[in-house]
Structure 1
Amino acid sequence: MRLVVIGGGFVKHFDNFHINKRIVELVGKVNPKVLFIPTASNDDEGYIKEFKDTFEKQLSCQVEVLRCINENPNESQIIELFRSSDLMYLGGGNYVNMMKPWKKYKIDHKLEEALNSGTLIAGISAGAICWFKSGIRSNYEGEGYIESSGWQIINKIFCPHYNQRDRAEALHSILLNGNRTEDTIALEDDSALYFTDNTTELIGDPSKSWLLQVKENKLVKQKINA
């Protein structure tokens, strides 16, 4: 497994650029081929341009984009994009809107297969939640935040954008009211963790990555030292 999960932030901002620079280094190739999957943003073209400006012009990558909201890719096109990619980057946005077309096109299964085969995958916010047992996302049908299930590749709860006070408070409430036994990883914007089968690397500001646990009905919070 080679997986980078990012708490949030903008691709072109300095702190997040540092993370993306490290991700490209992890690929281990010159001019790597990157597949950007911006489904959670509804294939937003502004987001795609920002990604290309960063990864092509500044990080010397070759970028392909898999659009499955504004386009209707066939099976062979998706397979070829996956086969030829050195890095897959899953964008942020609406978690529910992301998961529906991924199931339709079987992208969820293809991503898991790619991870198991050793392809480096990075996901930010919604694109990171899917890999965990569950994650904290916005309640798109109302106010506040709720918990949604993921693929359980990492048997922990995940909270992106932990720097947002209302989101952090919602996470704390969910954990304490449920007396949860799972560890929770909470990442602020511009922070990331790189998981392999045996190691974890902290990328970005170490003061922005947190491990939360519920012990004796109390929330225990500590910085991640990886």
Structure 2
Amino acid sequence: MAPTPPQRLALLGGGFSTDDDGLLDDWVLAQARVPHPKVCFVPTASGDAPAYVDQFRAAFRSRPACVPSVLPLFRRELDDDALRSFLLAQDVVYVGGGNTANLLAVWRAHGLDRLLREAHDLGTLLCGISAGANCWAEGSHTDSFGPLTYLPDGLGLLPGSVCPHYDSEPGRQPSYRAAVAAGRLPAGWAVEDGAGVLFENGVLGEAVTRAPGAGVYRVEPDGSGGVSEQGMPCRSLGPPRSPERPER
């Protein structure tokens, strides 16, 4: 019997849509199960925005170490069997940012949630930024409904909750901490812009940063109505960004 492949997820605080250096995307490619991975971009959360798709193609077409493709759902061209075959042939599924709640609804309407679970079980690396990071957890912190709030919904492939943009958007940190403290979201992971974190079988494997100052945090209830926040050690991928993030 063949060994069970590890189930792997990466949460990104950056990538081709926000960074010029390509360090986080190169890191993702290095985590793939093969040296020349097939990488599928899923832009559902942005409504398959053409400019976003063009950004991905421009960034990944120039990388000789991968075979890029895009999976649109708003103008879907594949039937159910072809969709399953296409998705399960990918080595990396890279989900873009946008609206987390809309992304989950569209995926479920097309059965993509079930296919992503299957791909995950077979060892495909699932990753994404913002909504593309939120979607894998049991719940997340989101602005899908306008104001920042908690969303106790997700694919549940990563235990707990996720908060993206922890350092860069006003209100993110106190709002997420309040949701975890009140039990509206389970304990989870806060990712600052510029950082990335890899999980294997639900356990943190590595945290990285493209610049000193960007981090990944474990946020848990402290038992007294607040939360504890623990920074994870991060391996540096490159030089510091400018200007540096101010101290909290």
Q: Normalising by structure 2, what TM-score?
A: 0.81
Change (3 A) 1:84 1:180: closer
Pairing partner for 1:11 from 5, 8, 17: 17
1:65 and 2:43 matched: no
Give the superposed CA RMSD. Answer: 2.2
Which shifted more, 63-72 or 154-163?
A: 63-72
Which shifted more, 152-161 or 105-114?
A: 152-161
Q: Please, which runs of 5 or more residues in structure 1 have no aligned partner?
A: none
Pairing partner for 2:161 from 154, 157, 160: 157
Measure, in 1, the Cα distance between the counterparts of 2:11 and 2:148: 23
Pairing partner for 1:146 from 145, 150, 161: 150
Pairing partner for 1:166 from 167, 171, 177: 171
Mapping 1:84-163, distance limit 5 Å: 84-140=89-145, 142-163=146-167
Contact 1:181 1:213 in 2 (8 A): no
Residue 85 of structure 1 and its aligned partner are, at CA, apart by: 1.2
Change (3 A) 1:199 1:135: closer
Residue 69 of structure 1 and its aligned partner are, at CA, apart by: 1.2
1:49 maps to which residue?
A: 54
Q: Which letter maps to 2:227?
A: L
1:211 maps to which residue?
A: 218
* 1:3-43 Cα distance to aligned partner (Å, 9 max, x none): 1111346536146x211101111114343211111100100
Change (3 A) 1:46 1:60: farther
Q: Which letter maps to 1:185?
A: W
2:191 maps to which residue?
A: 187
Q: Which letter maps to 2:148?
A: G
1:223 and 2:223 matched: no
Aligned residues between the structures: 223
Change (3 A) 1:78 1:183: same
Residue 86 of structure 1 and its aligned partner are, at CA, apart by: 1.5
Measure, in 1, the Cα distance between the counterparts of 2:13 and 2:136: 13
Q: Which letter maps to 2:208?
A: I
Contact 2:139 2:150 in 1 (8 A): no
Structure with the higher helix share, 1 or 2: 1
Contact 1:5 1:193 in 2 (8 A): yes
* 1:113-145 Cα distance to aligned partner (Å, 9 max, x none): 1111111111221122122121001042x4332
Residue 72 of structure 1 and its aligned partner are, at CA, apart by: 4.7
Q: Please, which runs of 5 or more residues in structure 2 have no aligned partner?
A: 1-6, 235-248
